[in-house]
Structure 1
Amino acid sequence: MAVVAASGGGEVAYDGRSLIINGQRKLLFSGSIHYTRSTPHMWPYLISQAKLGGLDAIDTYVFWNIHEPQPGQYYFSGRRDIVRFIKEVQSQGLYVCLRIGPFIEAEWSYGGLPLWLHDIPGIVFRSDNEPFKFYMQNFTTKIVNMMKSEKLYASQGGPIILSQIENEYQNVEKGFGNKGPPYVRWAATMAVGLKTGVPWVMCKQDDAPDPVINACNGRTCGETFVGPNSPNKPAMWTEHWTHFYDIYGNITKVRSPQFIAYHVALFIVNKNGSYINYYMYHGGTNFGRNASAFMLTSYYDQAPLDEYGLIRQPKWGHLKELHAAVKLCSQTLLYGSRTNFSLGALQQAYVYKGIKGECAAFLVNTDAANEAEAQFQNRTYRLPPKSISILPDCKTEAFNTAKVSTEYNTRTREAAVKLNSPLIWQELDEVIAVYDDTSLRSNILLEQMNTTKDTSDYLWYTASYQQFNESQPVVMRVNSDGHVLRAFVNGQLIGSEHGTFRNQSFSLAKNVTLRKGANNISLLSIMIGLPDSGAYMERKAFGLTNVRIGDKDLSNYSWGYQVGLLGENQHLYTIEGSIKVKWHKFTSSPRPLRWYKSKFDAPKGNDPIALNLGSMGKGEAWVNGESIGRYWISFVTPQGSPYQTWYHVPRSFLKPRDNLLVVFEEEMGNPLGISIDIVSISKVCGHVSTSNPPLIDSYVKHIGRRPRVELHCPSNKNISNILFASFGSPLGDCNNHVVGRCHSINSTSIVERACLGKKMCSIPSSHKIFGGDPCPGVLKDLLIEAHCQ
């Protein structure tokens, strides 16, 4: 057993089976919730729903670039208040895994590194490089000392039981040659030397130096994890992806609750896994300009808690039931002995025996296409394709990963405030930069990040081009390394182009007619976030790489530069800045690069709020000076729909009345189509079968449920209508259903009496409840769908 020295608090150690907390082995379920992607107002609710879902711990990265945006200037308030977040987790009785990094990737701008590191002479990120190691150690020490001063490590009686140094380094290590391995050893030694009193992990680092634990990230770690690199280390899964991040230009597949649950159970039996962290449990929102290149503002909306914090069923409920079933076995799993034997060609039994005769079993069917009938201890079990049955007493199936019996729900958005009157909007055109008005000059095309220092997405490249002949058409070609370009000649837009996540370089070629004499060439280069990963990030370059007019190469021409937009410099998006300029009445003639502002009253109630920007093109939006993120409606999926239409506006951003909405529109969107929408759970559905095996009493007590349909409306809504009810043999599922051949005619009336007007109701799947058996000898299902209002 590896013991991490404690200092007056709880001892955290580990052995080859699990983490050991205060002398007890622990089988832990954790979930990632990032403090920066939600708000302090949301934190208590998010954490409580995670705990209710059966989690033992909350996992979060530490975001270096928001805490130290300039060297030595630290910020830890508002959404940056990591101490407050951890104390909230502690107050609700959960542990914390603190992933300091400080490189985190996380689909976060620059992987969490502050851009000023880029300017340190001789620096090479994430390698055996003295400048980088100096600043990395400074920040890591700063965070560790902050946690110590607040007594937040478990060794001090706090909730932090685990810390992480670096992040998925093995993905890039080969790129650094002989500078990679010594950096890994240095990082481990540095972290352990900070004496936190709790273990450290490195994820995706199969050779993590002792005593640092190597951990797995991915979708299927029960199949792919090589295992701990020492028999004295436990198997840990630091990122079990509940979805996958969404990016412009790529459609990700939704991961089903059955898929997620199967791989959790497989990791436990196949790899002796004892720590599983869901990434993400709540994804949240990339407010401001924090999303990395081509990432959506919405982050992991398909997690068990959606972007707004609403429970996403059946994912949340199915995993809750999984956690309950596994916890019934935990002592046997952690302290017992294991044997495994074949139940068939693609079926396996894993049997755990405790020291007092306890018995638990996991019956695994790895056949993805066929159900299996397995004989185990003189009983027959039907195992659906690609599923695992959990038998906490080696007899009764408490849970099967493929059988979803929890309720389903449907999220809807409804316009509460429509901003469709021209009278409530004002507008202001952004000034197109021209060469004569610029003070920054160069005879080369400057690299964008070096020039803007990430103070803005926008960089104007301007030139005054002399045409000596009479007006004539000519081809202007611009090459760029990302990400978006809007080209103007003499104040007129001649064209736009953009790259993609996979190929951020692109070209724009347009016919233009130049007038005789001076012509203003104004090229607006736009970045959609900074890169977040890869070797030698400090060498990555963006912006324009070549400009040609006809056969003339202007790359070494005299260029003038303007960093950012005039409206940004004037802070038009703030209440103070917006009143310092003269806005104009709204006109029905759109043009690119225009600011819009309006005011609205907050919708009543506590439901989450979203800004519907479906009528816009591309830009950024602010509410009361708070950026709710970039939007890009005009970038559509192969099916022709926007990747994201609704943008989360946290309630804490709002006042009761006169909330300032400012939108900067790059293209020619129409703000009259914008609305303030309420987001809510509008429909709930449950489906159970009497063919499901009876639940053992201890499991029923643990999750508070027997085979029955339970419907739960949100706290501010009641069940207003029964949309479908059938006890018998309904066809389909909660997504699509009809009455089958066997159906109790009393189904709807019985359910209405039990449920209408209530926030929740529970209907047993029993013919006694429905006034008799509509078809004796036939196994019955109960399927109910209800509307919440």
Structure 2
Amino acid sequence: MFMMKQMMQYFYCNSWSWYYYWWWVVVATAVLEAGGDSSSSRNVTYDGRSLIIDGQRELLLSGSIHYPRSTPQMWPYLIGKAKEGGVDVIQTYVFWNVHEPQPGQYDFSGRNDLVKFIKEIQAQGLFACLRIGPFIESEWTYGYPTCLGLPFWLHDIPGIIYRSDNEPFKFFMQNFTTKIVNMMKSEGLYASQGGPIILSQIENEYQNIEAAFHEKGPSYVRWAARMAVGLQTGVPWIMCKQSDAPDPVINTCNGMRCGETFAGPNSPNKPSMWTENWTSFYQVFGGSPYIRSAQDIAFHVALFIAKKGSYVNYYMYHGGTNFGRSGAAYVMTSYYDQAPLDEYGLIRQPKWGHLKQLHAAIKSCSVTLLHGVHTNFSLGQLQEAHVFQDGSEGCVAFLVNNDPRKNATVQFQNASFELVPKSISILADCRDIIFNTATVKTKYNFRRTTPSQMFNSSERWEEFKDVIPSIFDTSIKSNTLLEHMNMTKDTTDYLWYTFRYLQNSNCTEPLLHIESRGHVVHTFANDMYSGSAHGSHDVKGFTFENSSILLNNDINNNISVLSVMVGLPDSGAYLESRFAGLTNVEIRCSDGFSYNLTNHDSGYQVGMLGEKLQIYNEQNLSNVDWIKATISTNQPLTWYKAIFDVVVGDELPLALNLSSMGKGEAWVNGQSIGRYWVSFHTSKGAPSQTLYHVPRSFLKPSGGGNLLVLFEEIGGDPLGISLNTISVDPPIAGPVSVPVPVPVQEEMDHHRQNLMLLMEL
């Protein structure tokens, strides 16, 4: 195998014809596939240059695909497209709160079938990187910065402090980690057993919060490393963004610019690895998409490889969908839609194709990159060269122009090279350019949505109005405001706070004043809707005020406030003690006097009636009385249902266009396709997301009689909903040789200023 790689590189990197190069690629691939034995064990180690698999250094390109964010029916296609794009490794987190929803009760079925996912990776001849955590970084509900993936039942363990040298936390963390490792071992999925898993990760970006735990932080890191290594998987362990990762655990980099920001491995005997190269960024409700160009991604990958990096993972290669209530605080249902494979798994060009060409160029010279002597030197004020020389056999050069605005003419090896702005040229034989990061040869495509079915007939809709409780309807009472998360236990987004208020005729122009550390409040006075307010991803608390609240004088008034969480908090250390929900409730009078209800008797109800009765499932529809829909956009807390058919055999992805709705959640045949929040607009006045993925596997095999159920919180118009097919138009001509435009680059730099301070610097 090593000899074949050398021969392929020799043909390509020393200017032999493309015909002979590709002939050897075909021959070598056929020989390797014919001679490979998936049952034989692999020895995975590392040195200061790379991972070493069966004695051979490997330059690996990886892509993140998360199994719960797609469906088992999609996995073969997604993994296959990643392989076609030049990816060697599929990287995924393991989602603790999905797999252990209650202590000792495990779920590895359906979208949670981790073993099936890993076996599909193996079936397609790729490696796997398993990021067990159990803390993960994936905008998955409950944790820092917007994800932890910890089951909420940990919150109620006495004396627990998450992610610290804390015995209760360590007990449950070790128990789950051991569970996953033993499951992989029992299926023979580690490379040491002949499986595809060549790397495992313990913890995740802990250094961001390590100092908050004082001496309990470093000792926790050492414990986690010892615990993981002691499980004897036979493959290396990694810790990302953890410069004090104890030997033999490898510290790795996360971010967009690891070729510039990574200080390197903490030992000369460890390779330089990049576990998260953000192809875009997660998007929140109220936020605009972050567009990262193919050129920018390629530049930073090439720079990392030029500085002796040997493993690069794209986060995400396919983002997918935050089905149900899995997204973290304010995080949209669509996840990393700007990745090389979009939310639906469709190829996004030119990103996918440009990176594929980069991968081919890098792989063609991998022997020299992994074995050659590395030198670097200046070619100008903002220009430099990185050169790998493997004796007299091979030479690879990376010519870097860091100037974002100007071309640069440089002299290298007695030749002149014109470098376009913010680009890296890869010279396979230190003479001929085989790839330039700013030269996009892949043609652009664009995504098309085509309505296939309209829901514009009121005859097909029925509705059920959920019940607004008063304090007399609640079984839980308190004279202080109770914390939202501790009450709901992450079983629902909704918590009712109810109050009784005797309105005095002397209180003129009463104003309802509410302060909340939750995400949304909907208010009702005597069952009449009084208005809503919400916070944002960047503003953790918010205030609601309404001076037109309708109160009756000299009698008790029922004030009901629905507190809503859109994912659990995105804070860091000591998450177990975080507070969400209402913090202050007052009736303010025009004369300056106020009635504070905060420390008066209040009643609580967890969740909505429709949720408890699960009326989104076909078998539970009769649990409530549905009536013909009246369709009013001023109709809060209303459930809608309709039946629809789809064309069987059409494999195009499907999405519901919910642009006419407000805020809520949608189910298809009892499966939640996620939260929608169309009414929360971006700074440009548009919804952050209007299309919501409906996987084909959620539909009935016959194609007919599918049940759509919506829970609308604030009032929307279901007559404006449509079911759309999603397709990619044939590629259209795109730029052939253009760098990232200066205005785009400046906008990206502006976004980075805040982003990198927290997450990369």
TM-score, structure 2 normalization: 0.88
Q: Aligned pair 1:465/2:501, yes or no?
A: yes
Matching residue of 2:653: 608
Matching residue of 1:313: 349
Measured in 2, the distance between the counterparts of 1:565 and 1:62 equals 30
Q: Does the CA-based 8 Å contact 1:473-1:513 persist in structure 2?
A: no
CA shift, 1:344, in A, is: 2.3
Q: Does the CA-based 8 Å contact 1:283-1:307 persist in structure 2?
A: yes
Matching residue of 1:650: 695
Matching residue of 1:178: 215
CA shift, 1:662, in A, is: 0.3
For residue 408 of structure 2, the aligned residue among 359, 363, 372 is 372
Farther-moved stretch of structure 1 (389-398 vs 210-219): 389-398
Q: Does the CA-based 8 Å contact 1:335-1:355 persist in structure 2?
A: no
Matching residue of 1:577: 620
Measured in 1, the distance between the counterparts of 2:725 and 2:717 equals 21
Measured in 2, the distance between the counterparts of 1:88 and 1:103 equals 25
For residue 457 of structure 2, the aligned residue among 400, 421, 425 is 421
Measured in 2, the distance between the counterparts of 1:558 and 1:420 equals 46
Instruction: Tell me the SS of whatever aligns to 1:684.
Output: coil
For residue 195 of structure 2, the aligned residue among 140, 153, 158 is 158
Q: Does the CA-based 8 Å contact 1:57-1:97 persist in structure 2?
A: yes
Instruction: Tell me the SS of whatever aligns to 1:174.
Output: helix
Q: Does the CA-based 8 Å contact 1:416-1:603 persist in structure 2?
A: no
Measured in 2, the distance between the counterparts of 1:384 and 1:129 equals 53
Instruction: Tell me the SS of whatever aligns to 1:214.
Output: strand
2:49 partner amino acid: R
Instruction: Tell me the SS of whatever aligns to 1:555.
Output: coil
1:458 partner amino acid: Y
1:414 partner amino acid: T
Measured in 1, the distance between the counterparts of 2:509 and 2:734 equals 67
Q: Does the CA-based 8 Å contact 2:376-2:386 persist in structure 1?
A: yes
Matching residue of 1:146: 183
Matching residue of 2:5: none
Measured in 1, the distance between the counterparts of 2:632 and 2:318 equals 41
Equivalent residues, number: 686
Instruction: Tell me the SS of whatever aligns to 2:322.
Output: coil
Q: Aligned pair 1:352/2:397, yes or no?
A: no
Q: Does the CA-based 8 Å contact 1:267-1:273 persist in structure 2?
A: yes
CA shift, 1:8, in A, is: 7.3
2:576 partner amino acid: E
Measured in 2, the distance between the counterparts of 1:608 and 1:653 equals 12
Instruction: Tell me the SS of whatever aligns to 1:686.
Output: coil
CA shift, 1:469, in A, is: 4.2
CA shift, 1:468, in A, is: 5.2
Measured in 2, the distance between the counterparts of 1:612 and 1:589 equals 19
- Residues 358-377 of structure 1 show CA distances to partners (whole Å, capped at 9, x for unaligned) of 12111111111111122323
Instruction: Tell me the SS of whatever aligns to 2:323.
Output: coil
CA shift, 1:626, in A, is: 0.5
RMSD: 1.7
Matching residue of 2:134: 102
Q: Does the CA-based 8 Å contact 2:587-2:595 persist in structure 1?
A: yes
Q: Does the CA-based 8 Å contact 1:105-1:532 persist in structure 2?
A: no
CA shift, 1:472, in A, is: 5.0
Q: Does the CA-based 8 Å contact 1:472-1:513 persist in structure 2?
A: no
Matching residue of 2:718: 671
CA shift, 1:356, in A, is: 5.1
Matching residue of 1:383: 419
- Residues 430-456 of structure 1 show CA distances to partners (whole Å, capped at 9, x for unaligned) of 111111111111121110111111111
Measured in 2, the distance between the counterparts of 1:307 and 1:642 equals 17
For residue 568 of structure 1, the aligned residue among 579, 600, 611 is 611
Q: Aligned pair 1:215/2:259, yes or no?
A: no
Measured in 1, the distance between the counterparts of 2:137 and 2:258 equals 20
Q: Which has the higher helix share?
A: 2
Measured in 2, the distance between the counterparts of 1:534 and 1:291 equals 17
1:673 partner amino acid: G
CA shift, 1:196, in A, is: 0.4
Matching residue of 1:28: 60
CA shift, 1:470, in A, is: 8.1
CA shift, 1:342, in A, is: 2.7
Matching residue of 1:622: 667
Q: Does the CA-based 8 Å contact 1:215-1:236 persist in structure 2?
A: yes
Q: Does the CA-based 8 Å contact 1:108-1:532 persist in structure 2?
A: no
Instruction: Tell me the SS of whatever aligns to 2:215.
Output: helix
Q: Aligned pair 1:498/2:530, yes or no?
A: no
CA shift, 1:532, in A, is: 4.0
- Residues 337-357 of structure 1 show CA distances to partners (whole Å, capped at 9, x for unaligned) of 122233222222222222452
Measured in 1, the distance between the counterparts of 2:490 and 2:541 equals 19
1:123-272 → structure 2 map (5 Å cutoff):
123-270=160-307, 272=308
Q: Does the CA-based 8 Å contact 2:631-2:718 persist in structure 1?
A: no
Taking a change above 3 Å as real, the CA distance of residues 636 and 398 of structure 1, as seen in their structure-2 partners, is: same
1:82-101 → structure 2 map (5 Å cutoff):
82-101=114-133
For residue 534 of structure 1, the aligned residue among 572, 597, 600 is 572
Measured in 2, the distance between the counterparts of 1:193 and 1:662 equals 48
CA shift, 1:531, in A, is: 1.9
Matching residue of 2:756: none
Q: Does the CA-based 8 Å contact 1:482-1:505 persist in structure 2?
A: yes
Q: Does the CA-based 8 Å contact 1:471-1:513 persist in structure 2?
A: no
Measured in 2, the distance between the counterparts of 1:558 and 1:205 equals 48
Instruction: Tell me the SS of whatever aligns to 1:112.
Output: coil
Measured in 1, the distance between the counterparts of 2:293 and 2:445 equals 14
Q: Which has the higher strand share?
A: 1
Q: Does the CA-based 8 Å contact 2:47-2:271 persist in structure 1?
A: yes
Instruction: Tell me the SS of whatever aligns to 1:398.
Output: strand
Farther-moved stretch of structure 1 (175-184 vs 333-342): 333-342
Q: Does the CA-based 8 Å contact 1:339-1:351 persist in structure 2?
A: yes
Matching residue of 2:727: 680
Measured in 2, the distance between the counterparts of 1:544 and 1:342 equals 59
Instruction: Tell me the SS of whatever aligns to 1:122.
Output: coil
CA shift, 1:252, in A, is: 4.5
Q: Does the CA-based 8 Å contact 2:522-2:532 persist in structure 1?
A: yes
State the structure with bigger RCO (CA 8 A, min sep 6), 1 or 2. Answer: 2
CA shift, 1:541, in A, is: 0.8
Q: Does the CA-based 8 Å contact 2:284-2:331 persist in structure 1?
A: yes
Taking a change above 3 Å as real, the CA distance of residues 688 and 594 of structure 1, as seen in their structure-2 partners, is: closer
Measured in 1, the distance between the counterparts of 2:290 and 2:526 equals 45
Structure 2 gaps, min length 5: 1-38, 143-147, 589-593, 745-761
CA shift, 1:381, in A, is: 2.1
Measured in 1, the distance between the counterparts of 2:677 and 2:230 equals 46
Measured in 1, the distance between the counterparts of 2:651 and 2:232 equals 44
Q: Does the CA-based 8 Å contact 1:105-1:533 persist in structure 2?
A: no
CA shift, 1:227, in A, is: 0.4
- Residues 234-287 of structure 1 show CA distances to partners (whole Å, capped at 9, x for unaligned) of 0000000000110123335311000000000101112x1000000000000000
Measured in 1, the distance between the counterparts of 2:410 and 2:186 equals 56
Q: Does the CA-based 8 Å contact 1:12-1:161 persist in structure 2?
A: yes
- Residues 711-758 of structure 1 show CA distances to partners (whole Å, capped at 9, x for unaligned) of xxxxxxxxxxxxxxxxxxxxx9xx9xxxxxxxxxxxxxxxxxxxxxxx
TM-score, structure 1 normalization: 0.85
For residue 81 of structure 2, the aligned residue among 11, 24, 49 is 49
2:563 partner amino acid: S
Matching residue of 2:632: 589
CA shift, 1:549, in A, is: 1.7
Measured in 1, the distance between the counterparts of 2:339 and 2:583 equals 40
Q: Does the CA-based 8 Å contact 2:283-2:290 persist in structure 1?
A: no
Q: Does the CA-based 8 Å contact 1:16-1:233 persist in structure 2?
A: yes
Measured in 1, the distance between the counterparts of 2:94 and 2:174 equals 14
CA shift, 1:405, in A, is: 0.2
Measured in 2, the distance between the counterparts of 1:178 and 1:607 equals 54
Measured in 2, the distance between the counterparts of 1:488 and 1:211 equals 59
2:616 partner amino acid: Y
Structure 1 gaps, min length 5: 1-6, 693-731, 736-789
1:611 partner amino acid: L
Q: Aligned pair 1:10/2:48, yes or no?
A: no
